Homo-oligomer: A and B are copies of this chain.
Amino acid sequence: MYHNLRGFKYLYRKQEKNRGRITIAKSNSDEVNPPEFKPLDDGVSPRAPCKVIFPFLSSPPFSVLGVDMRIADNKKVHNTGRFKNSNLIVRRNKEFIIDIRFNRPFNKMQDNVEVEFLIGGSPNENRGTYIIVSFGKDIGEMIWKCRVLNTQGNDVTVGITPDPSCIVGRFRTFVAVVSGLGKQRTPKNPDTDVYVLFNAWDPADQVYLSKESDRQEYVLNDVGVIYNGEFNNMSSRPWNYGQFEEGVLDACLLVLDAGKVPLVYRGNATEVVRQGSALMNSQDDDGVLVGNWSGDYSIGTSPTAWTGSTEILLKYAREGGVPVCFAQCWGFAGVLNTFLRCLGIPARVITNYCSAHDNTGNLKTDIMLDEDGKVNKSRTRDSVWNYHCWNEVYMTRPDLPQKFSGWQVVDCTPQETSDGLYRCGPTSVSAIKDGELSYPFDAKFVFAELNSDVIYHQIDKYGKTKILHVDTAYVGKLIVTKRINSNQYEDITSNYKYPEGSKSDKQSMQMAESRGVPLRDYEPPAEAGVDIQLQADTVKMGEDFKLTMYIKNQSSKRCTIDATITGSVVFYTGVTSTTIKQETRKATVEAWKTEKLLIDIRATEYMPHLVEQSNLLFVVKGSIEETGASLTTMRVVTLRTPELTIRVSGSPRVGKAFTVIVEFRNPYNFALENVQFRLDSPGLIKTKFKSYKEILPGGVMQYTESITPLNPGKRVLIAGLDCARLRQPSPHPPE
């Protein structure tokens, strides 16, 4: 009967009727407005708008001639002056002032005036989508506040205060005069639309921040730094958040509409943050960015090429909600940060170094080594990301016990589905620290990213496994964010973790266990009495370097070590690629002494095999001849790509052109082809592109741009370079 299944599916979709059910509004851009004139006896009149003539009135009825939203003044006091948007933008629970001009003086003993704010396609007072405030003779109950501040001639100045938990979005404004005949409204006018945002300045708002310096950074700063690299060799990437750029606020509201987030939830910061984390990735819901870790970015923009969020959000909006290609974690975190700051939610980007990606939430990251010391790719299913970026938002959590308010983790990189969709959080940072993992959302997943144990297993020739070594300190090594009013990082590890091995740390692990995290049920092998470590200095891509292996004998007996060092290329996600080197070493270490072995790594060994982001993983698998005890460790080495330099000639002044020079030297002995530069500066220019077909070995590219600032203020220049060969030098292995 149903041969054409696809057709049938559409058919039943259409048939999902709800005559006995109620539907709810899910779009800010839908619009249903009340009629300009609504007679009193509404029950029996036709519902269509109608013009009414008043033939029996001797003088024209009291009516509204105009409304002035006083945009510039209001924006100044609402901290929204930097938005490149011609409409009024206000924050919740703070009064804004409008002027209404009537056709005669307003008489408060006689006249009834209502100001209405409507959002979405089915405005309803019980849902917060239809707000009515009134002044004059007959004042009803009001959720938003309203007061007359001044009357002068035919003009009335009115102060209106949105309630502290009202819906965030774009409201349409109407002014209505209510008489014995009915309501006469002003016609629809998009110029009087008002955007309402979260208010970090107001103690009654869910996102209140008490310090002005925090608000300046976490709500108003439109540039930032995202940290990457590895924990003891950090790199960083500037990022243009650009939340005030033209079109960005509308794009953020479009994201919510595209994600069908019910309007009634949009006053709840917890809900907006959770939905935001789902909607920044394209999975499930055609969100903003398509994740891609394949190395092949030919049909879109490489994840490493972006310099900021503006270009991404505007492209998404311009194309009507088609996901933008491509991103990896920092891109996701950067765009989510823009979305949050734009709507007024305090937010920052976090980097967690050595972030476990635990597929099952069992707090174990299993690294399976073959007998020869190589990582067994088919049996190693967990990975430790060299770094992983997520966001924090600052808010109270009225749904949770009070102590869990404050910074919350939110992560939009599509790692795991959380409760069916790709998203993660918000989850309280302090709850993570204390192992209180029962509370929503996704506390267990974040806890595992920070606290998993790395377990090295050996697989024998029969396929049987045994545990070689357990490293409880490898994961969640360092957690950082940009410092306020600085480009340096701030170490916030202690927000997330008690010191390894401390009493509080143990209590936190116990609490986590009582909340369903599986016990550490494996038997760690006896302590070997010998500790091994790998180290390397900063390494430039394309150069030879030395890896140092320290062997620390912490016992009272001399020992002899056999060790195999295996080097492989690794994605930043911790998944290994080609093996580039394997070397066996033997060393004898006296009691209480430390030996140092140097391993030479040549550029010719690793250059042909690199994947993007240029990381090498070295694993040591060794044993002590005297006792047979196992020794294992691993270390990621990040290869630095050549840097861009930006210089500015002259001191920039408003209305006066200055010159920016972006310079790059190709340090390699091969030519770089199809090199694209981006130059970006929020508030100053839109992203500028420049392409070069080829930069020869040793060649220098110098790109000059002339810029004329139109507004005063501190500005940041961000330049980026994208070149497939620097991401993945050939020969690229076929797939």
Chain A residues within CB distance 8 Å of chain B: 2, 5, 8-9, 11-12, 15-22, 24, 38, 40-43, 124-127, 138, 140-141, 178, 183, 264, 274-275, 278, 282-284, 286, 290-296, 299-300, 319-320, 322-323, 325, 357, 359-360, 364, 366, 370, 372, 379, 381-383, 397-401, 419-421, 423, 437-441, 444, 461-465, 514-516, 571-573, 575, 611, 735
Contact = CB atoms under 8 A, between A and B. Distances in A.
Contacts of A8: 322
Given A9-B322, A399-B516, A421-B421, A461 B40 contact: yes
Nearest to A571: B20
Contact of A22 (B357, B437, B515): B357
A290 B461 contact: no
Given A9-B286, A19-B293, A124-B381, 18 more contacts: A5-B322, A9-B323, A12-B290, A17-B292, A19-B571, A20-B293, A20-B294, A20-B611, A124-B379, A125-B465, A126-B366, A126-B382, A140-B464, A399-B444, A401-B514, A419-B420, A421-B421, A438-B439
A5 B320 contact: yes
A332 to B, nearest CB: 14
Contacts of A573: 20-21
Residue with the greatest number of chain B CB neighbours at <10 A, chosen from A20, A323, A325, A399: A20
Contacts of A17: 292-294, 296
Nearest to A462: B178
Given A296-B15, A322-B8, A398-B516, A20 B572 contact: yes
A440 to B, nearest CB: 5
Contact of A12 (B9, B275, B325, B516): B325
Contacts of A42: 461, 463
Contact of A319 (B2, B124, B383): B2
Contacts of A364: 126
Contacts of A15: 290, 292, 294, 296, 299-300, 325
B462 A40 contact: yes
A31 to B, nearest CB: 17
A193 B127 CA distance: 54
B18 A293 contact: yes
Contacts of A286: 9
Given A8-B322, A440-B440, A24 B292 contact: no
A18 B322 contact: no
A630 B93 CA distance: 34
15 contacts: A5-B320, A15-B299, A24-B359, A38-B463, A41-B461, A42-B461, A126-B379, A140-B465, A141-B465, A264-B360, A274-B419, A398-B515, A399-B516, A419-B441, A438-B439
Contacts of A462: 40, 138, 178, 183
Nearest to A140: B464
Given A420-B419, A420-B421, A438-B399, A299 B11 contact: yes
A379 B140 CA distance: 17
A174 to B, nearest CB: 13
Contacts of A611: 20
A727 B16 CA distance: 18
Residue with the greatest number of chain B CB neighbours at <10 A, chosen from A284, A295, A322, A571: A322
Contact of A290 (B16, B357, B515): B16
Residue with the greatest number of chain B CB neighbours at <10 A, chosen from A286, A401, A464, A573: A464
Given A15-B290, A294-B19, A439-B439, A126 B381 contact: yes
A210 B421 CA distance: 36
A112 to B, nearest CB: 8
B294 A515 contact: no
Report the 4 A-B pairs with minimum CB-CB distance, sorted nearest first.
A17-B294, A20-B571, A20-B293, A399-B516
Residue with the greatest number of chain B CB neighbours at <10 A, chosen from A12, A124, A141, A264: A12
A401 B438 CA distance: 8
Given A400-B515, A515-B400, A20 B360 contact: no
Given A12-B299, A19-B571, A575-B21, A360 B127 contact: yes
A463 to B, nearest CB: 7
A607 to B, nearest CB: 19
Contacts of A24: 359, 381
Contacts of A300: 12, 15
A322 B572 CA distance: 40
Contacts of A264: 359-360
